[in-house]
Chain A
Amino acid sequence: MEQVLNPLAIAHQHVVFEDGLTLDGGAHLPRLVVAYRTYGTLHPSRDNAILVCHALTGDQYVAEPHPLTGKPGWWEMLVGPGKPVDTERYFVVCANVLGGCMGSSGPRSPRDEDTAELWGTDFPPITIRDMVRAQARLIAHLGIERLFAVIGGSMGGMQVLEWAATYPERVFAAIPIATAAYHSAQNIAFNEVGRQAIFADPDWAGGRYWREGRIPARGLAVARMVAHITYLSEQALTRKFGRRLRAASVLGPYSDVFEVESYLQHQGSSFVRRFDANAYLAITRAMDYFDLAADHGGEVAAAFAGTKTRFCLVSFSSDWLFPTSESRAIVRALNRVAANVSFVEIETDKGHDAFLLDEPDFHRTLRGFLDGCAQHAGLSSAGAP
């Protein structure tokens, strides 16, 4: 196995809330750490803040090189000076989710300040709403009363929906992208395959691998490979690889033969270098628990009753993990409460991953929607106060 960098070795910008956080599951996290990054300048009127919520395996490094991998920020195409989410105009905040492994409280973080003992599998179960509550603490800490916008794709979109439902008066505009109001049985099933792969790896050691300096690299890589297939589409895989064979491959059932196989293996092994297995378990569970309707008497619409937030939903035509029908169901729920909602399905063959890729129609939509909202919010167009 290649050398694995220790995510703990990096100092992430963070804030500590010593009073901790009471979680949906009833447990109380004694000490809450939220790691985050900001881009741009907060107006003195504090009205130009945009919170970006990251997806399952994302992190707070939205628009700068990743400290572990050195790769560009995961949404650098969208967030930055002159980009659709223009950091010359908006103050952009992104926090590592609760349960994550890039500095926020999670299975990979110390139980308390003094001990080197990590939470591991003792980290209490968390929900999407817990993640949002932790972000809300950060936002209040930054002195922001109302967010101009909350944006996120996939699990980030779940957080956007939860923000709009839990703190309606603190969200002027909400942009849930390629997401759903609940995690479907099929999506839970895929997550479970990933979790079982991790459990089955002897190096997982009942979740205490970090004590022995081991990492369930095989299991986590397989989990990533399965998940990665769900992020793509059949057309995208065919376009990229088709049935092409690897150069100099030996035909046989026990060796890599097709290009798509080595691609997936690369996805798996590079993921292991930056992500923690227990964090993966905790966050996939949080996604599985997500069901906005169940939390509001069986009606998604009830979650948004009386909302003044302006919504923009975006889906992608070839996304089968969070298909357009799920976004449309949210749109209809919002229609039921006469909410202000825009909805666009972007035509693409890139599958769920499209929200991270170069999709000009998507980027135009996002830029235009934010412009329109800025006009309605009375936001000055100049970056200067």
Chain B
Amino acid sequence: MTLAEPPVPVRYVAKNMRVDLELIAGMIAPKTRVLDIGCGDGALITHLFHTKACDARGIEIDMKQVTQAVAHGLPVMQGDADSDLAHYPDGAFDYVVLSRTLQAVGRPREVLRQMLRIGARAVVSFPNFGHWRVRWQLLARGRMPMTPTWDRMWYETPNIHPCTIRDFFELCAREGYAVERWLAADDSGRRAPWRRAPWLANLFGEQAVFLLRRQR
């Protein structure tokens, strides 16, 4: 009898942190209070502190990354997007950021609600499952797509709630969130030139960044 290998802890999709960070930072006003959920080693927090003088803090689920971040002097706590946001008071932050993590949380709709409860605005980035390569693979091969972005087998992917750009627009409308800004980009961060046509962005954008606001 062979013993089963210990399960490899499954992490969120690899982040192209530099690209993501710049797109997100571009949506955040200077000198504001920011909470970065799933902050990894704290690259965005450092960036916001040094370039925009923000009071930026982070939550990260992976203890190694948390230790790394705190050891670099960053205010980061170990915690979980699904369970730890409920403890913050209303309106504690100007921005709550969820970078390429929405597709991996247990209850994305609840996480978004919490984000817009504790923050005046939410910045959400996610990889777009509506990209043409994903669609083509499913159509042509009849199997779950494997792309540079969606690179884990269906049985071991942490990305349990993938969505498309159009799905996300629809959820925002349903939940009553105002989309203040949005953009689609390829994985190297080049902004897609289809800013006024969500259906084109949904076909050619590899990732999307949304700036949402609580409706008054």
User: What residues make up the interface of A, taking CB atoms closer than 8 Å to B?
Assistant: 310, 312-313, 331-332, 335-338, 340-347, 361, 364-365, 367-369, 371-373, 375
- Interface residues as binary, B52-68 with A (CB distance below 8 Å gives 1, 0 otherwise): 00010100000100110
- What separation, in Å, do the CA atoms of A313 and B87 have in the docked complex? 17
The answer to whether B88 has its CB under 8 Å from any CB of chain A is yes
- A332 close to B84 (CB less than 8 A): yes
- A364 close to B71 (CB less than 8 A): yes
Q: For residue B87, which residues in chain A have a CB less than 8 angstroms away from its CB? A: 332, 335-336
Residues A340 and B75 in contact in the complex (CB < 8 Å), given A332-B84, A332-B87, A347-B63: yes
- What separation, in Å, do the CA atoms of A237 and B187 have in the docked complex? 51
CB proximity to A under 8 Å, residues B75-134: 75-79, 84, 87-89, 92-93
Q: For residue A364, which residues in chain B have a CB less than 8 angstroms away from its CB? A: 67, 71
Q: For residue B93, which residues in chain A have a CB less than 8 angstroms away from its CB? A: 338
Among all A-B residue pairs, the 7 with the closest Cβ atoms: A372-B73, A368-B71, A343-B77, A338-B92, A335-B87, A364-B71, A332-B87
Residues A338 and B88 in contact in the complex (CB < 8 Å), given A310-B75, A372-B74: yes
- B75 close to A372 (CB less than 8 A): yes
The answer to whether B72 has its CB under 8 Å from any CB of chain A is yes
Q: Which of A331, A335, A368 sits near B70, CB closer than 8 Å?
A: A368
Q: For residue A373, which residues in chain B have a CB less than 8 angstroms away from its CB? A: 73
- A365 close to B89 (CB less than 8 A): no
Q: How far is the CB of B159 from chain A (nearest CB, A)?
A: 26
Given A345-B63, A364-B67, 17 further pairs, Cβ under 8 A: A310-B75, A336-B87, A338-B92, A338-B93, A340-B55, A340-B75, A341-B57, A341-B75, A342-B75, A343-B66, A343-B79, A345-B78, A361-B67, A367-B71, A368-B74, A369-B71, A372-B70
- B78 close to A375 (CB less than 8 A): no
Q: For residue A347, which residues in chain B have a CB less than 8 angstroms away from its CB? A: 63
Q: For residue A310, which residues in chain B have a CB less than 8 angstroms away from its CB? A: 75
Q: For residue B74, which residues in chain A have a CB less than 8 angstroms away from its CB? A: 342, 368, 372
List the count of A-B residue pairs having beta carbons below 8 Å apart: 66
Q: Which of A313, A332, A344 sits near B67, CB closer than 8 Å?
A: A344
Q: For residue B89, which residues in chain A have a CB less than 8 angstroms away from its CB? A: 336-338
- What separation, in Å, do the CA atoms of A371 and B70 have in the docked complex? 10
- What separation, in Å, do the CA atoms of A345 and B55 have in the docked complex? 24
- A344 close to B75 (CB less than 8 A): no
Q: How far is the CB of A226 from chain B (nearest CB, A)?
A: 31
Closest A residue to B73 by CB, please name it.
A372
Q: Specify the main secondary structure of chain B where it touches its partner.
A: mixed
Most buried by A among B66, B77, B79, B87: B77
- What separation, in Å, do the CA atoms of A313 and B67 have in the docked complex? 12
Residues A331 and B72 in contact in the complex (CB < 8 Å), given A340-B57, A365-B67: no
Q: For residue B92, which residues in chain A have a CB less than 8 angstroms away from its CB? A: 338
Q: For residue B75, which residues in chain A have a CB less than 8 angstroms away from its CB? A: 310, 340-342, 372
- What separation, in Å, do the CA atoms of A379 and B54 have in the docked complex? 19
Q: For residue A343, which residues in chain B have a CB less than 8 angstroms away from its CB? A: 66, 77-79
Q: How far is the CB of A132 from chain B (nearest CB, A)?
A: 24
Q: For residue A367, which residues in chain B have a CB less than 8 angstroms away from its CB? A: 71
- What separation, in Å, do the CA atoms of A331 and B79 have in the docked complex? 10
- What separation, in Å, do the CA atoms of A2 and B63 have in the docked complex? 47
- What separation, in Å, do the CA atoms of A114 and B193 have in the docked complex? 88
Q: How far is the CB of B92 from chain A (nearest CB, A)?
A: 4
- What separation, in Å, do the CA atoms of A373 and B70 have in the docked complex? 11
Q: For residue B79, which residues in chain A have a CB less than 8 angstroms away from its CB? A: 331, 343
Q: How far is the CB of B130 from chain A (nearest CB, A)?
A: 35
- B78 close to A344 (CB less than 8 A): yes
Q: How far is the CB of B17 from chain A (nearest CB, A)?
A: 19
- What separation, in Å, do the CA atoms of A354 and B55 have in the docked complex? 32
- What separation, in Å, do the CA atoms of A338 and B90 have in the docked complex? 9
Closest A residue to B92 by CB, please name it.
A338
Q: How far is the CB of B138 from chain A (nearest CB, A)?
A: 40
- What separation, in Å, do the CA atoms of A364 and B89 have in the docked complex? 31
- A336 close to B70 (CB less than 8 A): no
Q: How far is the CB of B88 from chain A (nearest CB, A)?
A: 5
Closest A residue to B35 by CB, please name it.
A338
Q: How far is the CB of A302 from chain B (nearest CB, A)?
A: 13
Q: For residue B72, which residues in chain A have a CB less than 8 angstroms away from its CB? A: 368, 372
Closest B residue to A375 by CB, please name it.
B73
A-B residue pairs in contact (CB < 8 Å), sample of 14: A310-B75, A331-B77, A336-B88, A338-B93, A340-B55, A341-B57, A342-B77, A343-B78, A344-B63, A344-B78, A347-B63, A368-B70, A369-B70, A372-B72
